[in-house]
A and B are shown apart, each in its own frame.
Chain A
Amino acid sequence: MTETNDDEPMTGTYAKVLALEVLVLLALWAAGRYFGTA
């Protein structure tokens, strides 16, 4: 049994996850607009 009881607050990580998702979606939207426009 190597379990530890650590339970670190991960608020910063959650914020990073959500911010990154917004960036990824914006990049996808921009790529769609750029390549989809003749």
Chain B
Amino acid sequence: MHPIDWAIVAGYIAWLVWDGVKRARLDHTTEGYFLANRSLPWWAVGLSVMATQLSAITLVGTTGQGYSDGVRFLQFYYGLPLAMVILSLTLVPFFYRARVYTAYEYLERRFDAKTRALTSLLFLFSRGLSCSVIVAAPAVVLSVILGWNVTLTALAICVPAVVYTMLGGVQAVTWTDVKVMGLTVFVLVAAVAVLIAGLPDGVGVGSALHVAGATGRLDAFDFSFRLDETYTFWSGLLGGLFLMLSYFGCDQSQVQRYLTARSVTEARSSLLMSAYWKIPLQALVLVVGVFTFVFYVFHAPPLLFNPVEEARLRKGEHAGEYLALEREYQAAHETRRQAAREFLRARAEGTAAVRSQAAEGLRRSEAAVKATRAGAIALVKRTAGQEKYTDVNYIFPTFITTVMPIGLVGLWIVAIITAAMDSIAAELNSLATATVIDFYKRHYRPSAEETHYLTVSKVATGVWGVFACWVAVYASTLGSLIEVVNRFGSFFYGSILGVFALAILARRANGTGAFVGLIAGMSVVAAVAFGRPEISFLWHNVIGAVTVFLVGLIFSRLSPATQRPSSA
């Protein structure tokens, strides 16, 4: 990396940390530290909600998915706007008026202490793990690109985030999120501009999109109702709806964002910002990946985007096999490049039959390129013993370091680092909140001085930060990171949503029913996940929520009525 890029990375991170740390003077109570005294404007909270969800995994993994599969992944978010409307009508006013610190606190008022403790514990477990994966994504990328040790890289990401989150609390988290979202949108738009500028003469934006479309990369809809297909219209609309309801409505890392808003209306508006902008923003991320694909149709791509694996194969005992694959790949790429040129010529001049034939030729040549690349990836799996190896997460980072101009490289690297930092910052902040409010204050020290709780809150943030870094080192060896994060969550998300649905929709539901329902929901999801692995994880959310709701209702009827009046 050029010294200018290094200066951009160091300067931007230093600015974020300095600005976050100076907000420490605003927090003298736990309400200030965790909820900013419920004083933040809706637009800042809304950007924070979006930044928390948009992590480095989005910038690294999703652009790679756009390159490999096109915009298909967008279907994952089709249930999001409806989820935001439902939450604005239901859980947001419930939480806000109950004046809770955590979503799970509400469950004790509605049901009992054990239901609160279990849901909060599940949150701590799943978010603690996902937090580590969020650190691992950029740690892997930077370790490969810069040749850094993974542990040092994880620490370089974690330590600044832990410092400003520990000292500045939710104020630091939110205002960092605002800055990072601005940077993220800027680098995405700049990437599209660089990619378009890099297209060869005679290939404009329209032509590039036609090449992408002819290879199926602009298909944002798959209407097949298949439970084994992760990204379809139905899994996104229904499974995604349940996932988003649970993530934005029952996950403390998101609930805490909108509890910082000035009013119920502003809390709702902050969520609705995602309803308006999430799909277009995600489309922009995927389009960057799609344009990267088109760029490499006309410029020779590496056979493997992971330079470490590439160097290992090139020098090792399998060098002959790898070089043969590389020659095959170069020939396949050249055939695809000519097929793309031919396709564009046919589009401009040919009849419908000629155009169709040219498109078919492009698809055939693309299949040949893919097959050769699959052979190289299989070689990595075989020789490195990494059964889950995927090259997807290295595609766009390689483009950044090899094609982007000086300055933009630094901005992209810092965007990846800070996207991870702001996501884990929000999660560390919410993990500390649940730890202190749901466990320490509730069970261990119910009546201590505010200053004591504030100190404990800062210590809890630091401890979770250390834990996240430690696990991140192990998470860095997992496969496609984006799916890993979602898989962690989907084991619990649906079931936790079922408990909140019981709390709000079923007046007869009681603590025993909710608790038994929750156990049953998680058991059924685990049974499905292990017994029928072909069923996509998005459906786990539906299965978990429905099971909890039904079992909870049945057991509430069977058990003695211990229902508490809702305080909301």
Q: Using a CB–CB distance below 8 Å, which chain A residues touch chain B?
A: 1-8, 10, 13-14, 17-18, 20-21, 24-25, 28-29, 31-32, 34-38
Contact = CB atoms under 8 A, between A and B. Distances in A.
Contacts of A8: 265
Interface stretch (B2-10, B275-283, B317-325, B550-558): B275-283
A7 to B, nearest CB: 5
Interface stretch (B15-23, B209-217, B405-413): B209-217
A7 B265 contact: yes
Contacts of A3: 37-39, 262-263
Contacts of A7: 93, 263-265
10 A-B pairs closest in CB distance: A35-B213, A38-B359, A36-B213, A21-B81, A38-B355, A28-B220, A2-B39, A35-B209, A17-B275, A14-B85
Interface of B: 37-39, 71, 74, 78, 81-82, 84-85, 88-89, 93, 209-210, 212-214, 216, 218-221, 262-265, 268-269, 272, 275-276, 279-280, 283, 343, 346-347, 352, 355-356, 358-359
B37 A20 contact: no
A4 B218 contact: no
B220 A29 contact: yes
Contacts of A5: 263
Nearest to B38: A3
Classify the secondary structure of A's interface with B: helix
Nearest to A9: B265
A6 B82 contact: no
Contacts of A28: 71, 74, 220-221, 283
Nearest to A1: B37
Contacts of B356: 38
Contact of A20 (B88, B212, B219, B276): B276
Contacts of A6: 263-265
A21 B275 contact: yes
27 contacts: A3-B38, A4-B262, A4-B263, A6-B264, A7-B264, A10-B88, A10-B268, A13-B269, A14-B88, A14-B89, A20-B276, A21-B81, A21-B82, A21-B275, A21-B279, A28-B71, A29-B220, A31-B218, A32-B218, A35-B210, A35-B212, A36-B214, A37-B213, A38-B346, A38-B352, A38-B355, A38-B358
B82 A18 contact: yes
Contacts of B219: 32, 36
Contacts of A29: 220-221
Contacts of B280: 24
Contacts of B263: 3-7
Contact of B38 (A1, A13, A38): A1
Contact of A36 (B218, B275, B279): B218
B214 A38 contact: yes
Contacts of A37: 213
Contacts of A4: 262-263
Contact of B81 (A2, A10, A17, A36): A17
B248 to A, nearest CB: 14
A36 to B, nearest CB: 4
Nearest to A19: B81
